[in-house]
Every structure is written in C-alpha cells, then in structure tokens.
Amino acid sequence: MISKKLYPNLGFGMGLRTDHYPHILSKWPKIDWFEIISENFMDTDGRPRRVLERILEHYPVVMHGVSLSIGTTDPDNSDYLKKLKKLADLINTPWVSDHLCWTGVAHKNTHDLLPVPYTEEALTHIVNRIKRVQDFLERPLILENPSTYLEFNDSQMEEWEFIARMAEEADCGILLDANNIYVTCYNHRKDPKEYIDAIPTERIAQIHLAGHENCGTHIIDTHDGHVIDEVWALYNYIISRTGPVSTMVEWDADIPEFDVVKTEVEKAQNFTMKPEKINDLPNFFEKDEENKNYKSRDYEKSLKVMQESIILGNDSKERAEKWIKSKSDFPSKDQLKVYINGYRIRLAEFLNDEMPVLRHFLGGDEMDKLVNAYIEKQKSTHFNICKYIKNFPAFVKKEGKELLKGKNVEIAHEIALLEEKLSEVFDMQESSPLDKESFSSISPENLLNQIFAPRAALFSLLFEYKINDYYQDVKNDKNPAQVIKEKTYLIVFRHEDRVLRLEMDKSEYELFTLLSGGNALETAIGKLLRRGNHLTDVELKNWFSRWVGNGLFAQAA
C-alpha cells in the first residue's frame, strides 16, 4: 500500500562524477538532478568546488556521504560536521544522506562502510547520534541500507527490523538501495521481499540503483556495471509499494560515457511510468547455522575487534568464527577477508593513482613493496583519504634504504615529495591573486617597502636532482632513462583551478622565497646581494612580470 510521503520526489538523477564533467559542462544534458559524494566537495577549495557552483546554476544537487560514520563510538567529529553543514547550506540540499555503518574507531579510519551488529545497544546508540546530527545540520538525515559481507553473532534482529526501528525512533529517512538489498540478501542467505516489506514506505526518501560483481560465494558492491535484471525486479517491487521516489543510478568504477549511465536512469524512469508485472523475486533464504562458540559482548568491543582484525590483516587475536556467523560455502574467515583485502586495496590504489611517476621510477614490484609497507605502518586517521599521502615522502626517506635496495632513495624521496605536494595543493584553501592592475598601482616610492605574500596554495621546493624534468618526461611518455643530478628550484602552485609547476634559477628562487618569508622587497634584495648574487633591474622586472602573471602573490587584504 502506498503511504503518505514525508520527502519530495526529485525525479531521476545520477551521480556527478569527474569523468562526466566535460560532457555536462558543454551539453547541459536533460537530467532531473545530480548526487555528489559529500567528501569530494566539502574538504577542497579546488576545481571540484568551481564545477559544483556551475552545476548548481542548472540542476538540483543532493549530498551523499561516506564518512559520517554514524555507528562509531568515537565522539562526534565536529570538524567533519561543520564542513558538512557548510556544504549543505551552500547547496541547499533537501536532505543529507550517508550510510548505516561506521568507518573506524579510536581515531582510525578504514575508508570502508563497515557493518554494525544489530543489537538493542547499537540501535539506542545510533538513534541518539542521528538525532544529534539532524539537530546540528538543521535538515533531514537519510541513511542507506548497507551492502555487507559478514554478520555479527551479536545481532539480535534482522537488518530490516533494525533499519525500520531506527528510522521511526530517530525520525530520519531511509535511502533504500535496491542493489544493496540484493547483495546483502545473497551474501547472508536472506529473502529480499521480506526485507522490502519490512521497510516503512513513508520513510523512503531516495532509491539507489547500481551494478555489482558476483564472486560465486558472495557478491561485492562495486558500482562498475549495469544494473542486473534481478535488481530491476526489486526496484519494480519497491516502487509498486511506494509510488514514485527520487531515484538515481550509481556508477563509480570503469565509468562509461555519460549517455550510457543516462540510459540506465531512463530505464528506471520507464519502470515508474509503466510498472511491469511483478513475477517471482529472487530469494536466497537459508536457515542460519547455530554457532556454539558465540559469546556476547558490548557494542564498542564488537567494533574494536573487527577494526583490529582488518588493520592487522588477520583474525589472530580473536578467531573470526567466534564473532562472525558462518555460511555453508562462505566461512567466517572468508567473510572477514573481504574487508581485510578491501582496506589494503583501497589505500594502495589511492597511493598508486597519486604517484604514477614514482611508480615509473621504481618499477611495479618495488613500488608495491613500498606501498604495502606504508599501509601496514601508517594508519589513516582522517575522513578524507587524500590526507593519507601526507607522510609518504618521509616514509620513503626513512625506510627506503631497507626496502628499496638497488634504487636511489634520494631520488625516490624527491619524486614522492613532488607528487605529494601536487596532490596537496589541488585541494588547499586558496587566496585571491595579486593581479597586474593592482601591482601596477603600487607607487615607486612604496614598492621597496612592499611585502608580497605568496598565494595560499603554493609550495617552494628545492631538489638536488632534476626532478621536474623527469616528471614531465614521464608525463609526456618519453620514458627517461635516468634522473640527472642537478639542483632544481621549483614552485608548485594552483592558479585558476589548475595545478602548475614553475621552475626558476637560483637567484630568482632565493628572492622569491625571501619575499615569501615576509621580507619587504628592499630587505629581500639586500639579503640576496649579501649572499653574493648579482641582480639587474631587467632581471627584477622580468621576475615580477612572471610572478604576477602566474598569480604567485596573494592580493593584499
């Protein structure tokens, strides 16, 4: 029976992904709305924010997060919530969504959507957190049913009962993911129809559709392909109970052209316009095996046991069979292994994506050795995975001699440092540039006493090797044979949302860094001359022309 709606129907949308930026910004295709990953826009002042501002001029946008970690027992992350609220206010999103999950405890982050045990204690804890978050955000919070690969022995109720009670007691919405229902029911041998029937329809604010990978014993929620027929059948059944609901298609890996994803969106629209006859729905129900080794524990302990197993990479401290429900062909240790592998793959893929030139220099085997050692030693603590790269160059410098035998560790460290700064500057908060008109307005008598502050998103880097040349050759597919030992003076900066590199000679670099250190121009020139450098008026004029033209200085407040 179709119930009264608590949330507006936005129509049919899709995820806003960087692969589709050129198509969207040039074609402005017909689509009802876009959904963004909140964390991709709330912790950056770079190009993503400028693209989002343009998108908002043409489309409604809804926020979907992956790091709220509503199930954690850590204190509320005030920094995260402030950034989330600021973005929500900018977008004026009708609701903010995230997942019924946790991403870490004890100030660690696995960057995964981890399952919770479905207990009365967990329900009370999560309901209270939802209420606090909704009060802080001053807008509705809707939580998505997760795709999970293990079940806790601690659970006292089914997932659908937990979600239904959570939504009612916390007065929040539900983002019902049809693919996640299929994945979870397949993995845990449940009945999808029983799941759907238990969800209060008036609480369903949004529906997700996506593809997955079937591994035989279990399914991984990969979002890398078309929605399969069985998931479409579940969607058809859901909307037969709810009526039209805001629906979007997620496609987050192996992303095809825009129109391919849009065709999936149109297919969902056709189901709503012309519902198909509901035939038999998939059903994977099997009776749970009784676990005689089960020992109940408190909620926080359950989370800590799982996180420790994931980060350590094994279940040596407490065997998986003691706290994970076993399946006939999907043992407890294999269920846990999905999360153990996912944690390492996720971090390794990020580091390799951010450091392609270092991988080129080291070779695949040596890079993998370095990355794997870093993952085992360096725990992630920030909700933004981009912060994980911060300590990598120092790790290369410290541990490289032991790990990279036969490779020049100094060069590896300098390449890592350059690529880390290029990654960091992409998202940094930025200041307005000193433009040519403002620079020209400075009178000759004031020029020597002028202080020129550098832009906020800028790094001055001194290398012992020609790292910039090597970096550019690799990017140009020139396959350089070696890195030449010669000092390189480099400025890495962001201007007009482009990350750029500007190489200088020694004297230019030294004067620029003296100015960046807060010295007035006259003082900086004096220090440069006392160092034995020669400086002509022509050089000074050319340098300032280049610096101002590239937007290296910040506009005076």
pLDDT tens per residue across span 283-335: 999 887 665 555 678 999 999 999 999 999 976 667 899 999 999 899 999 99
460 and 411 in one domain? no
Residue 205 pLDDT: 97
352 and 480 in one domain? no
293 belongs to a structural domain = no
Q: Residue 35 belongs to what H/E stretch?
A: strand 33-37
The CA distance from 408 to 404, in Å, is 8
Coil/strand/helix, residue 152: strand
203 and 320 in one domain? no
122 and 203 in one domain? yes
Coil/strand/helix, residue 382: coil
316 and 243 in one domain? no
Q: What is the mean pLDDT of the chain?
A: 94
374 and 233 in one domain? no
Q: Which residues contact residue 94 at a Cβ distance below 8 angstroms, ignoring those fewer than 6 apart? A: 7, 8, 10, 60, 62, 139, 140
135 and 64 in one domain? yes
Last residue within a domain, chosen from 423, 443, 458: 423
Question: What does the pLDDT look like over 246-255, one tens digit per residue?
Answer: 999 999 999 9
520 and 451 in one domain? yes
Question: What does the pLDDT look like over 135-190, one tens digit per residue?
Answer: 999 999 999 999 999 999 999 999 999 999 999 999 999 999 999 999 999 999 99
269 and 133 in one domain? yes
84 belongs to a structural domain = yes
State how far Cα 475 lies from the chain centre.
25
Q: Specify the CATH number for the domain of residue 120.
A: 3.20.20.150
203 belongs to a structural domain = yes
Question: What does the pLDDT look like over 58-89, one tens digit per residue?
Answer: 999 999 999 999 999 999 999 999 999 999 99
Alpha helical stretches, state H, 407-466: 409-427, 436-440, 444-447
Last residue within a domain, chosen from 255, 273, 291: 273
The CA distance from 271 to 252, in Å, is 23
Which residue carries 């316009």 as its tokens?
Answer: 273
183 and 61 in one domain? yes
Q: Residue 48 belongs to what H/E stretch?
A: helix 47-56
Residue 283 pLDDT: 94
Task: Give this prediction's pTM.
Answer: 0.94
Residue 386 pLDDT: 94
What single-letter DSSP state applies at residue 214?
E
Number of domains composing the chain = 3
407 and 334 in one domain? yes
Question: What does the pLDDT look like over 419-454, one tens digit per residue?
Answer: 999 999 999 998 999 999 999 999 988 999 999 999
User: Which domain covers residue 391, as residue numbers?
Assistant: 299-423
314 belongs to a structural domain = yes
Asked if residue 404 has pLDDT above 60, the reply is yes
Going by their DSSP bridges, the two strands 219-220 and 213-214 should be labelled as antiparallel
Which residue carries 């238990």 as its tokens?
Answer: 198
Sign of CA dihedral 380, 385, 391, 392: positive
**Opening angle at CA 21, ends 18 and 25, nearest 5:** 165
Residue 315 pLDDT: 63
Residue 265 pLDDT: 98
286 belongs to a structural domain = no
91 and 197 in one domain? yes
What's the one-letter identity of residue 213? Answer: E
Q: pLDDT band for 1, please (50, 70, 90 cuts).
A: very low
Last residue within a domain, chosen from 423, 442, 460: 423
